[in-house]
Amino acid sequence: MRLRNIPGSRDVIAESEYVVHDFKAAKGNWRELFGNDNPIRIEIGMGKGRFLCDLATLNPDINYVGIEKYSSVLLRAIQKEEEVRLPNLKFIRMEAEEIAEVFANDEVDRIYLNFSDPWPKDRHAKRRLTSRQFLSRYDRFLKKDGVIEFKTDNRDLFDFSLEEVKEAGWDLDEMTYDLHHDERLNAGNIMTEYEERFSQKGNPICKYIISRK
C-alpha cells in the first residue's frame, strides 16, 4: 500500500506518543514501555492499522505493536489511534528486514501477517514476509510456543509460503484456502482492510497458523 505523499506526515509521526521512535532501544524493554507484563503481539505490514485497532480495543490485556514502512500509511493509523487512544497499541515506522533488532528473545507471542506484498518475481522471494529468511528472523524473538498467523487472497504467495514453512522446519497447525467458509477457523475472525476489499470482490481468503514445537 502506498498513499500519495502527504505533506507533514513525517512531523505528525515524529510527534506522536503512539510511535516508538528509537525502536532499537526498545529491544528487551517492551514491558517497561507498556508498563505491564501483558503478552505482546505484532502485525508486520499493518497498513492503516484497523485490524490492530480492533484487536487492541477487544483485548485491553494484550499489547500490540504495528509495523509499517511508509509514513503516509502510518499517518492514517496514528490518526485513528489519536481518536481512540489505546494504551495497549504502539507503532513503529520501519522496514521489516530489521525486525530482529526490535524485539529480544521471547518478547513476542504472536505475529500477524495480513495481505503481505507478494513480490512476484522469483529473485525477490526473500523479500516476502513469509520467506524462510523472514521465518528465521522471527525465530529469534518469537516465544517458543508462539504462533504466526498469515492471511492472503494471493494463492501463489500462499503456496510459496506453505513450502517455506516446510523448508524452515516449522509446524503447520492450521490452514484453509477459504477462511470465510471455514466455520471453525473463521470464528472470531477480525477482518483487515484488504480482506474486506478482496473478499467483496469474491476472492477466497487463505490462512495458515504455524509454530515450532
Choose, by CB under 6 A, the member of 26, 67, 75, 86 that binds ligand SAH.
67
54 binds ligand SAH (CB under 6 A): no
Buried b (16+ CB within 10 A) or exposed e, 99-110: bbebbeeebbbb
9 binds ligand SAH (CB under 6 A): no
Least Å distance between CB 8 and ligand SAH? 19
Beta bridge partners of 210: 148, 172
89 binds ligand SAH (CB under 6 A): no
Distance CA 92, CA 198 (A): 26
Least Å distance between CB 61 and ligand SAH? 23
Choose, by CB under 6 A, the member of 9, 19, 56, 68 that binds ligand SAH.
68
Angle formed by the axes of helices 71-84 and 50-58, nearest 10°: 30
Active site residue 117: yes
56 binds ligand SAH (CB under 6 A): no
Catalytic residue among 54, 117, 139, 173: 117
66 binds ligand SAH (CB under 6 A): no
Provide the pairing of β-strand 142-152 with 108-114. parallel
Looking at the Cβ atoms of 129 and 168, the one nearer to ligand SAH is 129
Buried b (16+ CB within 10 A) or exposed e, 142-160: beeebbbbbbbbbeebbeb
96 binds ligand SAH (CB under 6 A): yes
Looking at the Cβ atoms of 24 and 31, the one nearer to ligand SAH is 24
Polymer length of the chain = 213
CA distances in angstroms from 127 to 1, 92, 124, listed in the order given: 15, 19, 6
Binding pattern to ligand SAH, positions 112-131, x when CB under 6 A? --xxxx--------------
Strand order in the sheet with 63-68: 89-93, 63-68, 40-44, 108-114, 142-152, 206-211, 171-176
- Applying the rule CB under 6 A, the residues between 142 and 181 that interact with ligand SAH are none
78 binds ligand SAH (CB under 6 A): no
Q: Supply the residues annotated as catalytic.
A: 117
Residues that bind ligand SAH (CB under 6 A): 1, 45-47, 67-70, 73, 95-96, 114-117, 192-195
